[in-house]
Amino acid sequence: MHALATELNETLQNTIVDAMLSDVGQRMFFPKGIVAQSAEAGQKATRFNATIGMATSNGQPMYLSDIYNKFAENSFKPSELFSYAPGGGDQQLRALWKTQMLVKNPSLAGKSISLPIVTSGLTHGLSMLAQLFSQEGDTLVIPDLAWDNYELIFKYQVNSDVLTFPLYNSEGGFNVAGLRKALLSIADKKARLLLNFPNNPTGYTPSKTEMAAIADALVELAGLGMKLMVISDDAYYGLFFEQETATQSLFSYLCDAHPNIFAVKCDAATKEDMVWGFRIGFITYGSKGLTEAHYDALNKKTLGIIRSTVSNCDKPGQSLLLKAMQEGKRYQADKLAACEEMEKRYRILKEVLKKYEGNTLLTPYPFNSGYFMAFKTKGSAEALRRHLLDNYQIGCINIADVTLRLAYCSVECDKIAELVDLVYQAAGEAWN
């Protein structure tokens, strides 16, 4: 093992992070190579900087004018668009994202968490977590209604076992008892848990009471000696439409709850700031008892994964987002307007679905947030999907042939009723 990896492992020894690291995670480190030496030169090499492989002129990167001229004059320096980004992301953006995280999650105040690290989108963040903290013989626990990419990443990329539990209980709320039962069934009393709220595909977020109950159940298991890594996928954070819905991330409940709980927050500007193609995500770590030295070692392992996969993340996207967050005249207003529009579509959809209550062909799962809603289907969801596409030119998503997901986020308010009517009509035709 490399000496730098050994040093990081010694720093993390006897922590929950140490207990969760995969073999890859144990071996990972951030090299004192080109990137590290270039960063050091950036601070001290005032005469000549002959470190990084980037063509420059007069202290700025060279560029294609056909690209640079697409930006308003004097809005960006060439270095803000064409330079390499630091391995962990723009330092100002990381700090600002953390500041906003504390505003959105007031209960994080005073708690020790890491500085967010920029990833190339939320999926990239999850992939890195899988490499660092999961491998063959480990178990990932997810709800039965979950994003299909979780299995692709954890099961087929790093060969972990995937254990599911029913998302809903018999009353249509979050199934805390089912989650607890699934975790207790794991023989080695060590698990990775991945929860996504608002949920994709169902659009469900637990109530404040349910979220507290989830946290209480996990703390109870941790107190019994179970070691837990809890990943909060907050991709759709902020899109909450009901008063009783929990509006703070599960991460804020768990990041200092128990030394046996390693909490990780995966979020992104993707949906929160409506920059889907920018591919800007963040990873933030937290656990009771972790020190700044622990977080530094953990971040260096994460930087090592970034360095060995994408090297560094998108620079122009980070610069554009940072400018909007720092100087944007309509940054908050546009975000609020988009959220209000999503809530309007949500309320229309809820009202339209009332006329189909009791229809057994399609049963809506409870939903209260996010971009989606989903139906439990009486017949083949794939057959219905194909029928809708071929006969009505309507696209939707089949999940495991028993669930049909609708993304109402992309349907205008005045079209939602027509969409729902046609989906129910097509179900009667497809399953006759």
- 345 SS3 class: helix
Is residue 92 a part of any domain in this protein? yes
- What is the structure's pLDDT at 36? 59
CB 85 within 8 A of CB 314: yes
Q: Is pLDDT larger for residue 53 or for residue 293?
A: 293
- 27 SS3 class: helix
CB 195 within 8 A of CB 229: no
User: Of 295, 327, 359, which one is at a domain's C-terminal end?
Assistant: 327
User: Of 309, 327, 345, which one is at a domain's C-terminal end?
Assistant: 327
| 347-370 per-position pLDDT tens digit | 999 999 999 999 999 999 999 999
Tokens linked to 376: 């439990």
- What is the structure's pLDDT at 35? 58
Mean pLDDT estimate for the chain: 94
Is residue 75 a part of any domain in this protein? no
Say if residue 289 is in the same domain as residue 338.
no
Q: pLDDT class for 87, splitting at 50, 70, 90?
A: confident
DSSP state, residue 93: H
Say if residue 158 is in the same domain as residue 296.
yes
Is residue 48 a part of any domain in this protein? no
| CATH number (domain holding residue 375) | 3.90.1150.10
Tokens linked to 232: 């909060």
| 254-311 per-position pLDDT tens digit | 999 999 999 999 999 999 999 999 999 999 999 999 999 999 999 999 999 999 999 8
- What is the structure's pLDDT at 32? 78
Q: What is the CA radius of gyration of the chain?
A: 23
Is residue 227 a part of any domain in this protein? yes
Is residue 423 a part of any domain in this protein? yes
- What is the structure's pLDDT at 385? 97
Say if residue 298 is in the same domain as residue 426.
no
Say if residue 196 is in the same domain as residue 287.
yes
Is residue 415 a part of any domain in this protein? yes
Say if residue 350 is in the same domain as residue 258.
no
Is residue 203 a part of any domain in this protein? yes
Tokens linked to 222: 């941790």
- Percentage helix, strand, coil for the chain under 3-state DSSP, each rounded to 5: 45, 15, 35
Say if residue 246 is in the same domain as residue 387.
no
User: Of 292, 311, 327, which one is at a domain's C-terminal end?
Assistant: 327
Say if residue 159 is in the same domain as residue 99.
yes
Checking if the pLDDT of 34 tops 70, the result is no
DSSP code string of 346-393: HHHHHHHHGGGTT-SSEEEPP--BSSEEEEEESS-HHHHHHHHHHHH-
CB 384 within 8 A of CB 404: yes
Number of domains forming the structure of the chain = 2
Domain span including residue 196: 3-30+85-327
Is residue 58 a part of any domain in this protein? no
| CATH number (domain holding residue 284) | 3.40.640.10
Say if residue 245 is in the same domain as residue 389.
no
Say if residue 236 is in the same domain as residue 91.
yes
What is the mean pLDDT of the segment spanning 29-48? 66
Percent of the chain with pLDDT over 90: 91
What is the mean pLDDT of the segment spanning 188-216? 97
DSSP state, residue 356: G
Checking if the pLDDT of 43 tops 80, the result is no
